[in-house]
Every structure is written in C-alpha cells, then in structure tokens.
C-alpha cells in the first residue's frame, strides 16, 4: 500500500523495527556522509588478511554496539511516539489512541516492551497521572488471537464486541500476583487487523517475573508470544532480515568511527599492496 506521505508498506516494515515515526534529519542528526569516499563491495581476500581480521573484530564490535543502541532506541521511541501523538494529530497524523485506530498514513508500532526498565520509561513518558497507556503491536495478520505477552502473566476475564470495531475487545488481569491491580484491554485495530491496540490501566504492584518464570509462563501459553513473535519473525523473515541488515549497514556507513575504521583498513591494504606491487 502506498501512503500519501510517500511511504508505503515496504517502508513501514523497516519503520516498525525502530518504532514510531521515521526520524527526520532534525530529530536524529546524522553525520555527513563523506562524498569523496566510496567502498567497493568486492575485496580481494588475498592481501592484508591479518590486518583486516583485526579490523573485522573492531567492526563486529561496532555492529554489536549499533545493535544494542538500536534496541534501546526502540524502547525509547515507543514511549516518545505516545508523547508525540498530539503533534501528529495537528499535522494530520496518525495514531488515534482515543479510538484505538491506526491511520494508514503512518504506523506507530511498539515491537517490544519486555523488561522492567522499558516499562518504567514508558510510564514516565506517557501518562503517569492517569496510570494508563496505550501501545500498538504488529502481529501476524492471520493470527486472530488477542494474545499479547509482555513478560507478565495475564488472565482473561471477559470479552466484548464494541461498537467502534468489528473485532472483540478482550479484558485481562495480571494473574502473576493475585492482588495486582493492573488491567489490560486488547483489541485488534479496525483499520489494520494486523495491529493490536493494547491499553494498560494501573500499575503492577510486583516486579517483572524473572527470566525463568517468564520462560515457564511463555512456554506454557498457547498461541505463542505475540510480542516475541513479532521480534522472531522480524529476525526470521528473509525480507525483514535484509531490511534490518540494510538499516544496520546504513547506520554504520554514516558513523564517522566506522568509516574511519574502513578507511584505515583500506589504507593498510593499499600500503601493503604498494609494497608488494610497486607502480610501473
């Protein structure tokens, strides 16, 4: 699907990985790409092997660093997307948190809220006074279940067909701690059935279950972890894998440290090459 802001479903796929609106140059200052620098995709593996291995280690570390930063940004931008909704509406935007619908123009999707710090950040940036917040989660379009597992354990206590959506709304309580006051409402978006709109009301009065406990809970539940599924599919889908790699590569290329490392590696090789094969 093509949207009137020039994006399409394909571009939104990559957008989903980062959660929220496409960062503009103003939002995320990016270093200027060196205009007189180009990197060939074909590299002769016969020279500079040892030197390049060291550089590879360095680059792998860079890649890991970028991956970790990407993960953190995902959580932070998810929280910011909520905070930005007012501005989005003013410019004709997008995610209607009041009615749980998602405009096709833009898609603000949370792909992961799975650790306690992420919950705290979400709360601190969303609506701490009302103690409610709403997120949207992309799931498999063919998955008709309203299962959204976020590390906590939920017990469904009701389901209701509402007026503003053809899809039923499911009501959940936290079953990990019987006295926990938090509630969760899950409803499929009427405009994009692959998106689940999740409303949390209240706060947990206990800690996030440990990894072991979560593992037991998640494995015991039928239908799989919808949030985990999104991440899993993101990694396992060849197209999304490619998009993820492209984005990481893009991040690396605009990183001055990365380009400097590449330049140094190439300079090493060139100097080695000149020594072995002087100009005629």
Partner DNA sequence: CGTGTTTGACCTGCGC
Partner DNA sequence: GCGCAGGTCAAACACG
Count how many residues are written for the chain: 280
User: What tokens appear for 95 in the block?
Assistant: 């995610």
DSSP state of 90: H
159: nearest Cα among 149, 168, 150: 168
**Phi, psi of 140, rounded to the nearest 5 degrees:** -60, 130
The residue whose two tokens read 């899993």 is 232
Residue of the chain from 91, 163, 207, 280 that contacts DNA (CB under 7 A): 163
Nearer to DNA, 221 or 245 (CB): 221
Residue of the chain from 169, 188, 214, 269 that contacts DNA (CB under 7 A): 169
- Stretch touching DNA by CB under 7 A, among 85-93, 127-135, 154-162, 259-267: 154-162
- Stretch touching DNA by CB under 7 A, among 6-14, 77-85, 134-142, 167-175: 167-175
SS3 184: strand
74: nearest Cα among 14, 129, 130: 14
Residue ranges in 194-233 that form contacts with DNA under rule CB under 7 A: 221-222
**Phi, psi of 195, rounded to the nearest 5 degrees:** -105, 125
Q: How far is the CB of 226 from DNA (least distance, A)?
A: 12
Residue ranges in 134-153 that form contacts with DNA under rule CB under 7 A: 153
User: What tokens appear for 113 in the block?
Assistant: 């809220």
User: What tokens appear for 254 in the block?
Assistant: 């605009």
Residue of the chain from 82, 106, 185, 188 that contacts DNA (CB under 7 A): 185
Q: In which region does residue 110 sit, left (phi positive, over 0), alpha (psi from -120 to 50) or beta (all else)?
A: beta
154 near DNA (CB under 7 A) = yes
SS3 83: helix
Nearer to DNA, 108 or 172 (CB): 172
Nearer to DNA, 28 or 221 (CB): 221
Residue of the chain from 62, 70, 175, 247 that contacts DNA (CB under 7 A): 175
3 near DNA (CB under 7 A) = no
Nearer to DNA, 196 or 265 (CB): 196
127: nearest Cα among 206, 24, 201, 185: 201
Nearer to DNA, 18 or 154 (CB): 154
Nearer to DNA, 159 or 241 (CB): 159
- Site for DNA, rule CB under 7 A: 153-164, 169-171, 175, 183, 185, 221-222
């Amino acid at each position: 699907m093509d949207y009137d802001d020039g994006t399409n479903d394909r571009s939104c796929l990559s957008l989903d990985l980062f959660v929220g609106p496409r960062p503009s140059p103003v939002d995320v200052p990016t270093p200027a790409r060196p205009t007189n620098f180009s990197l060939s995709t074909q590299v002769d593996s016969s020279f500079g092997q040892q030197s390049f291995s060291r550089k590879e280690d360095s680059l792998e570390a860079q890649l890991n660093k970028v991956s970790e930063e990407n993960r953190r940004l995902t959580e932070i931008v998810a929280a910011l997307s909520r905070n930005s909704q007012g501005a989005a509406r003013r410019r004709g935007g997008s995610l209607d948190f009041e009615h749980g619908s998602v405009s096709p123009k833009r898609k603000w999707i949370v792909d992961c809220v799975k650790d306690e710090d992420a919950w705290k950040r979400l709360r601190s940036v969303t609506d701490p006074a009302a103690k409610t917040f709403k997120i949207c989660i992309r799931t498999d379009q063919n998955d008709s279940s309203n299962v959204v597992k976020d590390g906590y354990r939920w017990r469904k206590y009701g389901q209701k067909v509402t007026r503003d959506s053809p899809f039923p709304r499911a009501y959940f309580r936290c079953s990990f701690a019987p006295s926990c006051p938090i509630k969760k409402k899950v409803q499929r978006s009427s405009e994009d059935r692959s998106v689940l709109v999740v409303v949390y009301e209240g706060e947990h009065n206990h800690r996030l279950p440990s990894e072991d406990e979560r593992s037991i809970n998640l494995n015991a539940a039928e239908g799989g972890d919808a949030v985990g599924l999104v991440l899993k599919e993101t990694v396992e889908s060849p197209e999304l894998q490619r998009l993820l790699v492209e984005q990481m590569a893009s991040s690396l290329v605009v990183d001055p440290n990365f380009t400097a490392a590449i330049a140094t590696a190439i300079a090493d090789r060139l100097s080695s090459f000149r020594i072995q094969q002087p100009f005629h």
